[in-house]
Amino acid sequence: MAKMTMIEAIRSAMDVSMGRDDNVVVFGEDVGFFGGVFRCTHGLQQKYGVSRCFDAPISEAGIVGTAIGMAAYGLRPCIEIQFADYMYPAYDQIVSEAARLRYRSAGDFTCPLVIRMPTGGGIFGGQTHSQSPEALFTHVSGLKTIVPSNPYDAKGLLIAAIEDPDPVIFLEPKRLYNGPFDGHHDRPVTAWSKHELSEVPEGHYTVPLGKAVTRREGGAVTILAYGTMVHVALAAAEDTGIDAEIIDLRTLVPLDLEAIVTSVSKTGRCIVLHEATLTSGFGGELAALVQEHCFYHLEAPVMRVTGWDTPYPHAQEWDYFPGPARLGQALRDIMEAR
């Protein structure tokens, strides 16, 4: 075991995968010689050579399009889109091509491909370095979508994603890269080294796709969260003293419905939490599933705490970010609801 940040865990996942399988290749903008703007691929080119880890032109459609061709050939590309906000030029390749290749060719061609993208705000990135576009992927049949919340999961999920036979969108909450950010932006930054989930095996292991995990057991209310929001939820439970059960979904598609239903059936209350915009967000899907499967257990309407339906602002970042204060108020409200 070693102490790792999210960045180191993600790098270790690619390192382990490249070491085990010659077909794993890594590329993207600034990914090769320099090692990525967030340093996630640092050292991989030196270790595995320029054929396995290389710089790409600034063309997201080209990066994803060539990766699909490589995957069809038989490689397992693990590519980086520098920010999730930059993925739109590649969206056609992701939606119409990667996601449907197996289906439309009846399995004649497949697309084992991982697309890594830093996601979410909290770093004063403004509208083009802060978005959380997970619902644009969960809405697409044929894709799997992952959002890890800690170094241990990030490594195990990324290795599982690279070994998966289908295209996987791997969203890395960039505010978590260097520490478990709980939304209290006015407090000192904490490091991963003090967090138990920064204990990461140096070798190969996987965290299975489609399995949620309970981060905090509680009886009063269920909070469904993923990525950065898992830490926000933990902080809000602590701040309010409300006995919340916190489910870290980890994989959005395929979703661990059983874990959700078990928890909400027990607590009778549910808050859905995400940083992305509200309308047509993944929270809408979660709320609908809870309603369909837990209606007779519910003691209060399902609530959603999310980013506002606006572009992600720059100066007003902390008015936008659904932090522990806003979630805390929702927790108090849902406990009072009858």
Which residues are marked as active site? 129
Separation in Å, CA 199 to CA 155, 188, 207, 228, 335 = 11, 22, 14, 18, 35
Smallest distance from other proteins to CB 66, Å: 3
DSSP string, 163-209: HSSS-EEEEEEGGGSSS---S-TTSPPPPGGGSGGGEE-SS-----T
Comparing CB distances to other proteins, the nearer of 8 and 97 is 97
Comparing CB distances to other proteins, the nearer of 198 and 251 is 251
Q: What is the torsion angle, in degrees rounded to the nearest 10, for the CA atoms of residue 157, residue 166, residue 247 and residue 301?
A: 160
d(CA 292, CA 176): 33
Comparing CB distances to other proteins, the nearer of 13 and 140 is 140
In 35-160, beta strands by DSSP E? 53-55, 76-80, 114-119, 144-146
Smallest distance from other proteins to CB 217, Å: 24
DSSP string, 17-65: HHHH-TTEEEEETT-SSS--TTSTTTTHHHHH-TTTEEE--S-HHHHHH
Smallest distance from other proteins to CB 100, Å: 8
Comparing CB distances to other proteins, the nearer of 62 and 218 is 62
d(CA 287, CA 299): 14
- In this structure, which long-range contacts are made by residues 187-195, counting pairs with CB atoms below 8 Å and at least 24 apart in sequence? 191/5, 192/3, 192/4, 192/5, 192/6, 192/150, 192/151, 193/3, 195/150, 195/151
Smallest distance from other proteins to CB 146, Å: 14
Smallest distance from other proteins to CB 43, Å: 19
d(CA 270, CA 298): 8
Give the number of other Cβ atoms within 10 Å of residue 82's Cβ.
Answer: 22
d(CA 23, CA 269): 46
Residues that bind other proteins (CB under 8 A): 25, 51-52, 56-57, 59, 61-62, 65-70, 72-75, 89, 92-93, 96-97, 101-110, 141-142, 144, 165-166, 210, 253-255, 257
Q: Quote the crossing angle between the two packed helices 6-20 and 151-163, to the nearest 10°.
A: 30
Comparing CB distances to other proteins, the nearer of 99 and 276 is 99
Comparing CB distances to other proteins, the nearer of 77 and 121 is 77
Question: What are the tokens at 141?
Answer: 């049949």
Smallest distance from other proteins to CB 241, Å: 35
